[in-house]
Structure 1
């Protein structure tokens, strides 16, 4: 999935968009409009249905698109979610890719 495809899918609410950057980064730049902020360091707990910190946003059955600052951490996150049994995962790179594709930013 390209960043432009992710922007279109996010606009019609047909995917879950996850920002895996750290809180300080999100506070400085904002996040993609509609994205859920789950820092990579917390992703395993929040995405594992057996964990007490499981986030219901991960119950969605459609595609999941991940991004970070440049695409490295979102690729790590993609692998982690695959290990937990998630499918239809997409690394769309960094927040800059989202913006270049026409995606809106919202405050953290």
Structure 2
């Protein structure tokens, strides 16, 4: 019932530490699904694509003409948000779109706690 308040991601198929290693090796796509304001305030994981949850279907569905090339690569996808709740919804949606290997790695804090670099915009 109170799972969304857990300090661990809701569906840990891949840990944030594993995602950091795989991202550095170019083996996965890391997807930040938070709103633009959240990314502007706290930055994003190094190497992550920013696709707000509201735009996920348009930018991640392989049948959409606006699907990002990185999301057509067939690579595993690691998704995060602020706490892991929205990324859980995004992981389910990505699966419904046909993406086969999708992992909710929790929130940006999980990435940082595992030693992942946070990139802040210079704007």
What TM-score bracket applies, with the shorter chain setting the length? over 0.9
Aligned equivalents of 1:33 and 1:102: distance in 2? Answer: 11
Aligned equivalents of 2:95 and 2:25: distance in 1? Answer: 25
1:27 and 2:12 are equivalent in the alignment: no
Q: Report the alpha carbon displacement of residue 95 of structure 1 after superposing the two structures with TM.
A: 0.1
The alignment covers a number of residue pairs equal to: 108
Normalised by the length of structure 1, the TM-score is: 0.96
1:55 and 2:68 are equivalent in the alignment: yes
Partner residue in 1 for 2:110 = 97
Aligned equivalents of 1:54 and 1:6: distance in 2? Answer: 22
Match of 1:42 among 34, 55, 67: 55
Unaligned runs of 5+ in 2: 1-13
Q: Secondary structure at the match of 1:61?
A: coil
Largest Rg, 1 or 2: 2
